[in-house]
Amino acid sequence: MNEFPSAPPDSAPSPDGAAIRLVGVSKSYGGVEAIRSLDLDLARGESVALLGPNGAGKSTTIGMMVGLVTADRGRVQVAGTSPRTAVARGAIAAMLQDTGFMGGVTVAELVGFAASIYPRSLAVGRAIDLAGLIGLERRRVDRLSGGQAQRLRFAIAVVADPEILILDEPTRALDVQARAEFWEAMRAFAATGRTLVFATHYLDEVDGNASRVVVLANGSIVGDGRPDEIRRRTGTTMVRVSVADTGFDSQRRLEELAGVAEIARSGERFSLRTTDADATVRELALSGLSWRALEVAPPSLDESFLTLTQEAS
Ligand SMILES: Nc1ncnc2c1ncn2[C@@H]1O[C@H](COP(=O)(O)OP(=O)(O)OP(=O)(O)O)[C@@H](O)[C@H]1O
């Protein structure tokens, strides 16, 4: 896939550097409070993963960023202006869930139509290439597979050559190969200093693709930081070790090592869940136990995610 051009200088975000700013934003649907007094500042150049269980408020937040949902209270600013103005200027573009296409047109015609809306746009062929749709230019849009349609949504968003790109569950209908290609294109986009915001349920997409993780639950932010910070703050590390003498005394001594919260055993192999792996390993080394095959596994993002969202419910 091609490289993206550098971020254009004339689409600079607000003077203070925020690409997107939400201040005290709330949104209710009837009796349902979808978003509760949310404050969020996204700096230019950040790649932000928006995580949260079903109904947490991710799509509502994204809808407000692109001017499709109006907040009941608070202020939403995008590239230093209102979301709708930012969309009209092509400063922000989005790939949303399940958007339909106008019927009876080809892939190239539809991307060309999208390009004609914006003051500045990529060449149609370039957007089609970036989206991995080469060879499908003349295919009618109603004859695309689910994964091809998803790539077309991406082509329509990226043809705006936006400063900020918003993606709501972008890889939902893609197979493994297409997912890998999609993220390759996204990393190239982010590497040009542009801002990327994506909502996902696939936590394995966060590492390597997000510089920041924002976790939502019940319409509020319950976690915000670098992926490794989120893990460390909430997760526990697993220390695994084999001990030749598996008698009661060995198990008790392992349980008493600093930081150990829980212990499980399978034959000679012990799995220690620890809140402080360094302290656990240090004491293990001094314990006099006859151990081998030490493994230290970092906390998983899945576990951190569950901890954060369950605490909030
Ligand atoms: N148009 C609407 N009318 C009524 N309620 C809505 C509407 N849109 C969202 N909601 C409600 O607002 C809350 C937040 O929904 P939202 O779609 O923003 O969550 P989400 O985090 O994107 O969920 P998912 O992961 O399932 O897509 C939910 O309780 C949802 O039922």
pLDDT in tens, 33-46: 999 999 999 999 99
pLDDT of residue 9: 43
What is the reported pLDDT for 10? Answer: 42
User: Over the stretch 244-294, which tens digit does the pLDDT of each residue have?
Assistant: 876 668 888 999 999 998 898 888 899 998 988 999 999 999 998 889 999
pLDDT for residue 6 is more than 80:
no
Report domain extents, the chain. Answer: 18-231, 234-312
CATH topology of domain 234-312: Alpha-Beta Plaits (3.30.70)
14 has pLDDT over 80: no
Nearest CA among 152, 20, 18 for reference residue 78? 20
Taken in order 60, 63, 68, 69, the sign of the CA dihedral is positive
Greater confidence, 189 or 81?
A: 81
Confidence of residue 231 (pLDDT cuts 50, 70, 90): confident
**Residues in Cβ contact with 249 at an 8 Å cutoff, skipping those fewer than 6 apart:** none
CA of 55 to the centre of ligand 1 (A): 5
Task: For residue 25, list its beta bridge partners.
Answer: 38
Domain 18-231 in CATH 3.40.50.2300? The answer is: no
| Residue 58 CA to ligand 1 centre (angstroms) | 8
Give pTM, 2 decimals: 0.81
- Whether the per-residue pLDDT at 3 is higher than 80: the answer is no
For residues 182 and 279, the model is more confident at 279
What b/e sequence results for 53-90 when a residue is b if at least 16 CB atoms lie within 10 Å of its CB, and e otherwise?
beebbbbbbbbbbbbebebeebebbbbbbebeebbebb
**pLDDT for 311 beyond 90:** no
Ligand 1 centroid distance, CA of 88 (Å): 25
Structure tokens given for 203: 């936590």
13: Cβ below 6 Å to ligand 1?
Answer: no
Query: What spacing in Å lies between the alpha carbon of 30 and ligand 1's midpoint?
Result: 12
Question: Can you tell me the mean pLDDT for 170-195?
Answer: 85
pLDDT of residue 310: 80
Q: Does residue 57's CB lie within 6 angstroms of at least one atom of ligand 1?
A: yes
Q: pLDDT at residue 15 above 60?
A: no
Res 246: pLDDT:
63
Q: Tell which residue, 140, 191, 211, has the closest CA to residue 2.
A: 191
Ligand 1 centre distance from Cα of residue 89 (Å)? 28
Q: Which residue has the higher pLDDT, 25 or 312?
A: 25
Q: Would the CATH topology of 18-231 be identical to that of 234-312?
A: no
Q: How far is CA 134 from the centre of its chain?
A: 27
The three-state secondary structure class of 43 is strand
Asked whether 79 and 19 are in contact (CB, 8 A), the reply is yes
Take atom 4 of ligand 1 and give the residue whose Cα is closest. Answer: 29
CA distance 142 to 102: 9
Please state the atom number of ligand 1 nearest to the C-alpha of residue 60.
Answer: 18
Q: Is 59 in the pocket of ligand 1 (CB under 6 A)?
A: yes
> How much is the average pLDDT of 74-103?
89
Stronger pLDDT, 196 or 236, i.e. the higher one: 196
- From 60, 168, 202, the mutation candidate for ligand 1 (largest count of ligand atoms within 8 A of CB) is 60
Q: How confident is the model at residue 2 (pLDDT cuts 50, 70, 90)?
A: very low
The two tokens of residue 274 are: 């620890």
Most confident range (mean pLDDT) of 173-187, 196-210, 237-251 is: 196-210
Q: Atom of ligand 1 at shortest distance to CA of 59?
A: 22
Name which residue leads in pLDDT, 6 or 234. 234
Q: Which tokens belong to 77?
A: 């600013």
CA torsion through residues 291, 295, 298, 302, sign: negative
pLDDT at residue 11 in the model: 45
Give the range among 93-102, 185-194, 287-296, 299-308 with minimum mean pLDDT: 299-308
Structure tokens given for 11:
């689409």
Residue 117 reports pLDDT greater than 80: yes
Confidence band for 12, pLDDT divided at 50, 70 and 90: very low
% residues pLDDT > 70 (the chain):
93
Q: What is the pLDDT of residue 195?
A: 95
ipTM over 0.90? The verdict is yes
DSSP H helical segments within 131-226, as ranges? Answer: 146-158, 176-190
Q: Tell me, what's the pLDDT at 1? A: 43
Q: Give the nearest ligand 1 atom to 61 CA.
A: 18
Query: What pLDDT, on a 0 to 100 scale, did the predictor assign at position 79?
Result: 94
